[in-house]
Amino acid sequence: MTARSLPPSVIATLPGSYYTDENIFALEQARVFETMWFCVARASDLGRPGAFRTVQVGRESVLVTRARDGSIRAFLNVCRHRGARIRTEESGEVKRSFQCPYHAWTYDLEGKLIAAPNLTRMPDIDRVEYGLINVHVREWIGYVWVCLADEPPSFEADVIAEATHRLGDERSIENYDIANLRVGRRIVYDVKANWKLIVENFMECYHCATIHPELTEVLPEFADGYAAQSFVGHGAEFGEEIRGFTVDGSEGVDRIPGVGEDQDRRYYAITIKPQVFVNLVPDHVILHRMFPLAADRTIVECDWLFLGDVVDSGRDLGPSVELFHRVNVQDFEACERCQPAMNSRAYAEGGVLVPSEHHIGAFHEWVLDRLGTGPG
């Protein structure tokens, strides 16, 4: 992949500049995040008409809301008059419209321009034409996905098939009924690292033995360093003494009813490119969404989803949440440790992948293919 001459069995990583160069990041914004389906919010974050969230998708701020008919809508967060941001908060709720704070142009929850001071004296302003710019929206497994492309790629092929093909039929992701689970806990991490370092880290478990003592206690096969998280289609089995996917191996909470016998006592991990990770265990689901903000900064929003009854019961979710929270902190520290070194001349041509990390090479090929560049 690089100009280095390496033995055929050794795969090079991307050069360090791919993790630091603002031009490459801009290309990724345009050709990855603004072109593919991008997961922005839990549908329950938009509980009622008028509830909204603002999220960064590539170079754009996107305003996501629930319209009066209950459907979810998404718009570019830009007033059509003189370009003010409609909303700057991360989340909130309006009654029935969005009013731009600059000159008070007002848009309904479907994005149509419904009022503007003196609009009657400006008959040439078409209220539909000057509505907020819509972006494509899909809802799946209880999450809202948007696509900024004029013609979005197939959601079925790029998201659903990508998420399901790793597990066999009887081990379907559908068994977890993710759409109907409830957010028991959400933690937002501000990671000072390039988004690809976070994806690559999630794709391999070579590091598990070194940095994840609690996780390898629960999943002993991760201790040998060979398990590749994105490829654990067979599921990683809990250790014999382990009673639940918890920080101390203690009993978890109520099992999700659809989880079959062969999925019980197992952990599955799925990567949905470019920015979602799904972790499945018998009694909860952990879903990460990444929001890349700069070449060296990524916000990661992580939800722990449980049965509604479990959340309502007020049961202590702490031991369940704490396990993957520690894994997250350990992983993100590792990514932040790598990020500053990406600029070093020692990494100008990148590093190398050991055999258990070879699918990271496939991820790099995918990135280069999307960007239409070679590592130069």
Binding site for ligand FES (CB under 6 A): 79, 81-84, 100, 102-105
To ligand FES, the closest distance from the beta carbon of 111 in angstroms equals 14
Direct distance between the N- and C-terminal alpha carbons of the chain, in angstroms, rounded to an integer: 9
Helix 195-203 to helix 358-371 angle (10° resolution) is 150
To Fe ion, the closest distance from the beta carbon of 212 in angstroms equals 6
Q: Contact positions toward Fe ion, by CB under 5 A? A: 331
Q: How far apart are CA 166 and CA 158, in angstroms?
A: 13
To ligand FES, the closest distance from the beta carbon of 80 in angstroms equals 8
* Residue (8 or 83) nearer to ligand FES, CB: 83
* Residue (331 or 357) nearer to Fe ion, CB: 331
* Residue (134 or 313) nearer to ligand FES, CB: 134
Give the chain's radius of gyration (CA, Å).
Answer: 22
158 binds, among ligand FES, Fe ion, none (CB under 5 to 8 A by kind): none
- Kindly report the CA angle at 335 between 345 and 342, in degrees rounded to 5? 15
105 binds, among Fe ion, ligand FES, none (CB under 5 to 8 A by kind): ligand FES
Q: Which residue is nearest to Fe ion (CB)?
A: 331
303 binds, among Fe ion, ligand FES, none (CB under 5 to 8 A by kind): none
* Residue (110 or 301) nearer to ligand FES, CB: 110
To ligand FES, the closest distance from the beta carbon of 93 in angstroms equals 20
How would you classify residue 7: left for phi > 0, otherwise alpha for psi between -120 and 50, otherwise beta? beta
Q: How far apart are CA 256 and CA 175, in angstroms?
A: 8
To Fe ion, the closest distance from the beta carbon of 280 in angstroms equals 16
* Residue (57 or 100) nearer to ligand FES, CB: 100
* Residue (112 or 326) nearer to ligand FES, CB: 112
To ligand FES, the closest distance from the beta carbon of 81 in angstroms equals 3
Q: How far apart are CA 282 and CA 181, in angstroms?
A: 12
To ligand FES, the closest distance from the beta carbon of 87 in angstroms equals 12
Pull the structure tokens for residue 185: 């806990």
217-220 contact pairs (CB < 8 A, 24+): 217/242, 217/249, 218/242, 218/245, 218/246, 218/249, 218/267, 218/323, 219/267
**Closest among 350, 37, 39, 334 to 191, alpha carbons compared:** 334
To ligand FES, the closest distance from the beta carbon of 113 in angstroms equals 10
59 binds, among Fe ion, ligand FES, none (CB under 5 to 8 A by kind): none
* Residue (62 or 321) nearer to Fe ion, CB: 321
* Residue (158 or 331) nearer to Fe ion, CB: 331
103 binds, among Fe ion, ligand FES, none (CB under 5 to 8 A by kind): ligand FES
Sign of CA dihedral 32, 18, 373, 163: negative
Residues ≥6 apart with Cβ < 8 Å to 168: 233
Q: Which residue has the tokens 């049965």?
A: 307
Task: Please tell me what DSSP assigns to residue 30.
Answer: I
Spatial contact of 269 and 285, defined as CB atoms under 8 Å apart: no
**Closest among 205, 263, 261 to 234, alpha carbons compared:** 263
247 binds, among ligand FES, Fe ion, none (CB under 5 to 8 A by kind): none
* Residue (78 or 310) nearer to ligand FES, CB: 78
331 binds, among Fe ion, ligand FES, none (CB under 5 to 8 A by kind): Fe ion
To ligand FES, the closest distance from the beta carbon of 65 in angstroms equals 17
Q: How far apart are CA 174 and CA 147, in angstroms?
A: 23
366 binds, among Fe ion, ligand FES, none (CB under 5 to 8 A by kind): none
123 binds, among Fe ion, ligand FES, none (CB under 5 to 8 A by kind): none
